[in-house]
């Protein structure tokens, strides 16, 4: 098993997740992830891990542009077959799960483009130098950006969540 194959086995799911948080369509995220690795197998990059996520980010960006052109915005909860009821989740739990998804999605959308990108790359498992290379930040600035992004995400989520609860009570 060569390095690329090993990377594929360990990173494919993370790439799908990374793409899903950008295109919000599970099937499309899987298609794009496979496209990323097909390209990697053709190009055999020197730094495959960083290369894979860089290509994934570019594909997601292109996908977002084409989605805007087609006016085909996919929402988290509507029109996405991949977001159907999670197995073994009761109806009440499903409602709560959906509310939480909406709140997190909304909180993530409040972040700036750079903060969101750094946060998602970190969550996908990239190191600080890899994040810095992809986002054109200094390595020392990655920690600062991550600290700000984490704090704003949690604050935005708490605001959203308390607002939803206030609306129901």
Question: What is the contact surface with other proteins in residues (CB under 8 A)?
Answer: 5, 8-9, 12-13, 16-17, 20-21, 26, 29-30, 34, 37-39, 41-42, 82-84, 86, 100-101, 104-105, 107-108, 119-120, 122-123, 127-128, 139-140, 142-144, 146-147, 150-151, 153-154, 157
Query: Would you call 76 exposed, middle or buried from its count of C-beta atoms within 10 A (0-12, 13-18, 19+)?
Result: middle
State how far Cα 135 lies from the chain centre: 15
C-beta of 63 vs 71, nearer to other proteins: 63
- Cβ of residue 15: shortest distance to other proteins, in angstroms? 10
Q: Which of 133, 130, 128, 153 is CA-nearest to residue 143?
A: 128
Nearer Cβ to other proteins, position 71 or 81?
81
Cβ atoms within 10 Å, residue 128: 17
Q: Count the neighbouring beta carbons within 10 Å of the beta carbon of residue 40.
A: 20
Residue 43 or 72: which CB sits closer to other proteins? 43
Closest of 18, 90, 88 to residue 57, by C-alpha: 18
Rounded least distance, CB 145 to other proteins, Å: 9
Least distance to other proteins from the beta carbon of 70, Å? 21
How far is 18 from 125, CA to CA, in rounded Å? 10
Question: What SS3 state is found at 125?
Answer: coil
What's the closest the beta carbon of residue 141 comes to other proteins, in angstroms?
9
| Closest separation in Å from C-beta 61 to other proteins | 18
Ramachandran angles phi, psi of 64, nearest 5°: -65, -40
Tell me whether residue 79 or residue 82 sits nearer to other proteins (CB atom).
82
Please say which residue, 23 or 54, places its beta carbon nearer to other proteins: 23
């Amino acid at each position: 098993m060569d390095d690329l194959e090993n990377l594929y086995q360990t990173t494919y799911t993370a790439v799908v997740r990374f793409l899903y948080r950008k295109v919000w369509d599970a099937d499309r995220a899987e298609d794009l992830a496979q496209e990323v690795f097909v390209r990697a197998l053709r190009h055999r990059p020197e730094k495959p891990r960083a290369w894979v996520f860089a290509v994934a980010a570019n594909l997601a960006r292109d996908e977002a542009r084409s989605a805007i052109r087609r006016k085909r915005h996919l929402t988290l909860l509507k029109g996405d077959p991949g977001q159907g009821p999670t197995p073994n989740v009761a109806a009440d739990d499903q409602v709560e799960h959906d509310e939480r998804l909406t709140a997190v999605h909304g909180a993530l959308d409040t972040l700036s483009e750079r903060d969101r990108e750094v946060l998602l790359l970190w969550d996908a498992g990239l190191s600080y130098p890899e994040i810095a290379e992809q986002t054109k930040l200094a390595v020392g600035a990655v920690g600062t950006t991550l600290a700000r992004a984490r704090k704003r995400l949690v604050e935005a989520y708490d605001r959203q969540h308390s607002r939803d609860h206030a609306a129901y009570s």
